[in-house]
Amino acid sequence: MRLHESVVVLTGASGGIGLELAEQLCHAGAQVLAVSRHMGKLASLMNRYPGSLRWQSADLRTQEGRAQVVSRARELGGFNVLINAAGVNRFALLEQLDEQALDELLDINLKAPLQLTRACLPLLREQSKALIVNVGSTYGSIGYPGYASYCASKFALRGFCEALRRELADTPVNVLYVAPRATRTSMNSSAATALNQALKVGMDDPVYVARAVLQVVQSERSELYLGWPEKMFVRLNGILPGLVDRALRKQLPLIRRHIGSPLKEPSK
């Protein structure tokens, strides 16, 4: 996919990885319809790329919001790349989350990209070549304590990508799943950042992640995993999950301490 020939619908465009994707896409010559609930830092970016960047306010959790995006995309004459980058995270034990917080996470991380992709497929099929990019996570392949709800959404998103790619194998539409590791964005709480620092977990800059994603967009690859040793742990978890179980169990006291869990450590 050549970026300068691309018309891109990009969700989650007002911050984090999405904002960097918007900037790098425009710099490469792409036309971008940036989708977010609030304009935020997109305002200054629109001033820099007035001919390339357009904004659509939409709540992707709703049918109305998704319909607004599709309608705006039609007004642009169609598009050939959909990037689902909108997402939220919750660093908490499952029982610490109330029903509303859990529903919101699943609505944004899973239901919104599935429903928006479904609504956009007729437009994408009209292209000679089109691409759907879903931004997942390393935690879409490794179940990690303190992220059970987030892992559930990203595991499901990864499965969706795999199945949809096979479903569309005889069409012009390809599906790319990208899995960043921890990234320095406002999506991470201070507690999550503190845990990463305590565990000496590497955190990538959104600029680097966006650059890596767009490099793969221009190729024919179907998956991208970022970070080392994270890529190794993904493979290890698939082959020897029991080994990963034992390693992560040793981290439980530290994880619970950073979460602020009232749960007592089990007696030995």
pLDDT, tens only, 136-156: 999 999 999 999 999 999 999
Q: What's the confidence (pLDDT) of residue 119?
A: 98
What mean pLDDT value characterizes the chain?
A: 94
Q: Where in the sequence numbering do the catalytic residues fall?
A: 150
Cβ(73)–Cβ(79) below 8 Å: yes
**What is the reported pLDDT for 262?**
53
pLDDT of 163 > 50? The answer is yes
What are 13-66's pLDDT values in tens digits?
999 999 999 999 999 999 999 999 999 899 999 999 999 999 999 999 999 999
Q: How confident is the model at residue 185 (pLDDT cuts 50, 70, 90)?
A: confident
Neighbour count for residue 131 (Cβ, 10 Å): 21
Whose tokens are 């439980």? That residue is: 252
Q: What number of residues does the chain have? A: 268
Q: Enumerate domains of the chain plus CATH numbers.
A: 3-259 (3.40.50.720)
Helices and strands of the chain, counted as H and E runs:
11, 7
pLDDT at 205 over 90: yes
Roughly how many angstroms between the first and final C-alpha of the chain, as a whole number? 56
Identify the bridge partners of residue 56 per DSSP, sorted by sequence position: 35
Distances from the Cα of 41 to the Cαs of 48, 172, 212, in angstroms?
12, 34, 22
pLDDT, tens digit, for every residue of 69-95? 999 999 999 999 999 999 999 999 999
Distance (Å, whole) CA 173 – CA 138: 24
For residue 268, what pLDDT band results from cuts at 50, 70 and 90? very low
**Sequence letter at residue 160:** F
Which pLDDT does position 260 carry in this prediction? 87
Model pTM score = 0.94
